[in-house]
Every structure is written in C-alpha cells, then in structure tokens.
Amino acid sequence: MEDNSQNISTGTFEFKGINEREFRSMQIERIDSLLAYCSLNRNQLAKLSGISKTALYNKLDRDGSASFSSLDLFKIANALDLSIVYLLPLSQMERDMVKAPPVPASSIAFVDDMLGARPDDIEFLHGVHKLFKQYLQQRKN
C-alpha cells in the first residue's frame, strides 16, 4: 500500500508556538475586550453569568493559574448573548481580519432558522429587506 500522507495538506495550527499561559492570557484579553464592547464590568458579568465574583476574578487574573471550564464559557456566552466561539482567543490573522463587532447569538440563531426555511419564505424576506434598505436610504437623502 502506498503512503500518500506526504501529499495531504493539513494547514497549520493558528496558535503554534504559544504556551498555555500565553493562550490563557489571550483568552482573558478576548473576554475583557468583549466586556468593553458590551459596556459591562466584571462584577456585572459575574452577576449575569452566575459565576461567583471570586471565581470570575481568579479566572480573569493574568498572573493566576485558574482557567475557564467549558461550562464557564457557556455561562459567559449566554450572559453576553454571543456564540461561545467569540470567547475563544483570536489568532493574529483573525485579529488582522476582524474589525466588526461580534454578532449576537440570537442573530446567528435567526440565520440558522433562515437556512432551514422554505425558498419562497426566504425570497419574501429578502424582498422585505430590500424595500427596508431603500426606505432607509430615502429617509437619509
């Protein structure tokens, strides 16, 4: 049997060369930036997420060693109405590309619903959206 593994392009891991402490620091930076975007402080996040203030502050301490569990990330994402993916650190390439604010999880759910909608419903909503954009443009002028 011929070994074709040399021909398979696997890409690269976006955090190659970064140790766990650096990754953790990047995740804290990401969460802090989302808090700023949402105009929330850490105390408010603790209350909204149901994570105790002490635990949250320990996890957000760059010099500490406490880390976020997947359940913590779920609670934070739910509190901020964001996809849990937004809580993951961004690679340098992603930082360079992403300039827009995060999309609320409720909007992502709407897009998911639309992907499963009947074609005629999608066309109808598209028509409504076009008319609404025209209306807004006319109001602007």
- CATH label of the domain that carries residue 30: 1.10.260.40
Sign of CA dihedral 21, 61, 94, 129: positive
11 exposure class (CB count in 10 Å sphere: 0-12, 13-18, 19+)? exposed
In terms of domains, do 61 and 25 share one? yes
In terms of domains, do 69 and 116 share one? no
pTM for the full predicted model? 0.60
List, in sequence order, every residue forming a beta bridge with 82; answer none if it has no partner: 104
In terms of domains, do 38 and 73 share one? yes
pLDDT digits (tens, 9 = 90+) for 51-72: 999 999 999 998 888 999 999 9
Q: How far apart are alpha carbons 55 and 87 in whole angstroms? A: 17
In terms of domains, do 27 and 88 share one? yes
In terms of domains, do 93 and 118 share one? no
DSSP character at residue 66 = -
What percentage of the chain exceeds 90 in pLDDT? 29
pLDDT digits (tens, 9 = 90+) for 78-134: 999 888 888 887 666 666 666 655 656 566 667 667 777 788 988 898 899 899 999
Number of domains within the chain: 2
